[in-house]
Chain A
């Protein structure tokens, strides 16, 4: 099959989004609010890492190179994930004084999972069959992630004043970058024309409609316009946080890429 740039860009978008957010999630291991959450969150990250691996294998089949190398040896500007998903969990690192923000983790994962659901609804009809097959499998696992994050989101948004204050700050923060998650980048139109995925506008509307209902249901103020203030990851624009994430997660692999880890 001849290289199709729009398809390749879409696969990188899907792979890198799951890969980076799963990595950020994995940094929470042992630090989640309670042990049950540690079990749940790490399962979700494992699933998401599996989804990313699946997309990297599809890229491998299209001649983009070895799946392990695609995830571990690309430079930051080659990544297509949205900026919101690469951002650090909070101050400190998982090894030293992690002052991580649980509200940010809940809101970021909830917002992303809802978008991922609409993505999968569309991708199950994709004109690229390997992608529609993958979406069918991912959709099943995603159901459980959605139940999980929706429960956290709604409960904390309607909890104590302290919880509400922190959640509202996290909502504002994520809202200011969510535009980047909903973007499909410069090739969006071609992706839709070729039937790989629904149009950016369609999925943006679905996400916003869903959020309007959710905010109404929990009696919270609906935030204003969506933003994308730190660059569009779909065009390779990223923050220092991505560089740091890639350095950390590739540290072992890079010591000897020929060894099977």
Chain B
């Protein structure tokens, strides 16, 4: 395969990954969640580096399987390897604007753009946009989410926990 062809294959793999979703938030692709760190193509082998959102995320095995099943369909690819590197660390600022929009449609308020770990943050309701909301539970149905209630439109909703690197004192 020439350099140009190989570059095209990498591009196609990226496009295909757009169709792979987190099974626990199935309206958002893993690319828009900022989980895909890198795609390498070596001959007919594709190596996809994926960053886990939370260490104990039980969806990783399913995401790995779905990536393999999707990428193996790409012309010129005969083998797919998925790796989970321990750096860089996934942080919520990796989520794309489209990802944030899709999270809202799923009823999940996206994380704030800039957040200092440990500090409180303002969470607008994904349905009406009001910030007159209360935290019901810092933890939610999955490790990366928390549960809130909107006092304006009276809907319960979820939000992504902000995840940012912790600086040293």
The answer to whether B137 and A46 have CB atoms under 8 Å apart is no
Within the assembled complex, what's the spacing in Å between the Cα atoms of A11 and B143?
24
B139 is an interface residue with CB less than 8 A from chain A: yes
Among the 9-residue stretches A49-57, A159-167, A185-193, the one with 4 or more Cβ atoms under 8 Å from chain B is: A49-57
Of residues 134 through 152 on chain A, the ones whose CB sits less than 8 Å from some CB of chain B are 134, 136-141, 143-144, 147-148
The answer to whether A39 and B141 have CB atoms under 8 Å apart is yes
B17 is an interface residue with CB less than 8 A from chain A: no
Within the assembled complex, what's the spacing in Å between the Cα atoms of A99 and B28?
43
The answer to whether B138 and A130 have CB atoms under 8 Å apart is no
**Contact flags (1/0) for B135-165 with A, using CB distance below 8 Å?**
0111111110001000000000000010111
The residue among A50, A54, A121, A139 with the most chain B CB atoms within 10 A of its own CB is A50
Of residues 35 through 62 on chain A, the ones whose CB sits less than 8 Å from some CB of chain B are 36, 39-40, 43-44, 46-51, 53-54
Within the assembled complex, what's the spacing in Å between the Cα atoms of A136 and B51?
14
The answer to whether B139 and A144 have CB atoms under 8 Å apart is yes
- Residues on A with beta carbons closer than 8 Å to the beta carbon of B169: 121
The answer to whether A43 and B86 have CB atoms under 8 Å apart is no
Contact of B166 among A47, A125, A136 (CB under 8 A): A136
Q: Say how far B84's CB is from chain A's closest CB, in angstroms.
A: 10
A124 is an interface residue with CB less than 8 A from chain B: yes
Within the assembled complex, what's the spacing in Å between the Cα atoms of A213 and B58?
37
The answer to whether B86 and A133 have CB atoms under 8 Å apart is yes
The answer to whether A40 and B138 have CB atoms under 8 Å apart is yes
Tell whether A133 pairs with B139 under 8 Å between CB atoms, given A140-B166, A141-B54: no
Within the assembled complex, what's the spacing in Å between the Cα atoms of A222 and B54?
36
What interface size band does chain B fall in? Answer: 20 to 34
- Residues on A with beta carbons closer than 8 Å to the beta carbon of B56: 46-51, 53
The answer to whether A46 and B138 have CB atoms under 8 Å apart is no
The answer to whether A130 and B86 have CB atoms under 8 Å apart is yes
- Residues on B with beta carbons closer than 8 Å to the beta carbon of A137: 55, 86, 89
B56: nearest chain-A partner, CB-CB: A50
Contact of A47 among B54, B140, B164 (CB under 8 A): B54
The answer to whether B58 and A140 have CB atoms under 8 Å apart is no
**Contact flags (1/0) for B44-59 with A, using CB distance below 8 Å?**
0000000000111110
A-B contact list, 25 entries, CB within 8 Å? A36-B136, A36-B147, A39-B137, A39-B141, A40-B137, A40-B138, A43-B140, A43-B142, A46-B56, A46-B143, A47-B54, A50-B143, A53-B55, A53-B56, A124-B166, A124-B168, A136-B87, A137-B89, A140-B163, A140-B164, A141-B55, A143-B166, A144-B138, A147-B118, A148-B138
